[in-house]
Structure 1
Amino acid sequence: MVESEEIRHDSEGRRFTTSQEGHEAFVEYEREGDVLVITHTIVPPEIGGRGIAGKLVEAALQHARTEGLKVRPDCSYAAAYMRRHPDYADLLAPA
């Protein structure tokens, strides 16, 4: 589990980031109208296995919910996360 990580939203860079032990992990997204498209989830192997990717995707999903956006998870990790967490199913953009 991630301890005391801070997730930052870089709206200009269209990403959510966190740093651990000098390594940066992030989720990148694009905006297509009212749809937030999650394109990449990157966690360096040095800090992998701590739940960081899930926390980043969750931050992106919470942002989408707050902003009234739908989500298209083009990233395979984000898609799997949404399948495992049906409480976010209402955010899925129509195919």
Structure 2
Amino acid sequence: MSHPEAAPVVVHDGAHHRYEILVDGERVGLTAYRDHGDQRVFYHTEVDDAFAGQGLAGRLIEEALTDVRTGGKRVVPVCRYVAGFLHRHQEFAGLADPVSPDVLRWLRGELDRA
């Protein structure tokens, strides 16, 4: 007897500065960030190739941005996928701050220390 596939679930892993999307309990994608004051700076998003084309990245980003908005933070979309999602989904447009040279410099320093 086959088991129906579980619905994907998005979880926030604050200790590792990322949101993950799980399918049947296994992480199949993530979006990574660092917090800079009241800004959540998203810098990388990925979904395993085996799960590409299923809308998982979009769901992951939508739920991450909803969480950011609920938490009263702003978004800085260094990650191209997050930037594209924000462009396509105007309901999140007021949430984004521009990517500035200062933020990029700060992010490089943060990631170098990690």
Amino-acid identity (%): 33
| Equivalent pair of 2:35/2:41 in contact (CA under 8 Å) | yes
User: Can you give the 5+ residue segments of structure 2 that lack an aligned partner in the other structure?
Assistant: 1-5, 101-114
Aligned counterpart for 1:80 among listed residues 81, 84, 100: 84
Aligned counterpart, 1:59: 63
CA displacement 1:16-57 (0-9 Å, x = unmatched): 112236552111111000001111110011111001001111
Runs of 4+ displaced beyond 6 Å: none
Aligned counterpart, 1:14: 17
TM (norm. structure 1) is 0.89
The 5 Å alignment of 1:17-56 reads 17-20=20-23, 22=26, 24-56=28-60
Which segment is superposed worse, 17-26 or 73-82? 17-26
| Equivalent pair of 2:20/2:29 in contact (CA under 8 Å) | yes
Deviation at 1:81, TM superposition (A): 0.3
User: Can you give the 5+ residue segments of structure 1 that lack an aligned partner in the other structure?
Assistant: none
| RMSD of aligned residue pairs (Cα, Å) | 1.5
Q: Name the CA distance, whole Å, in 2 between partners of 1:18 and 1:79.
A: 19
TM (norm. structure 2) is 0.75
- From the CA coordinates, give the structure whose radius of gyration is larger: 2
Distance 1:69 1:90, change over 3 A: same
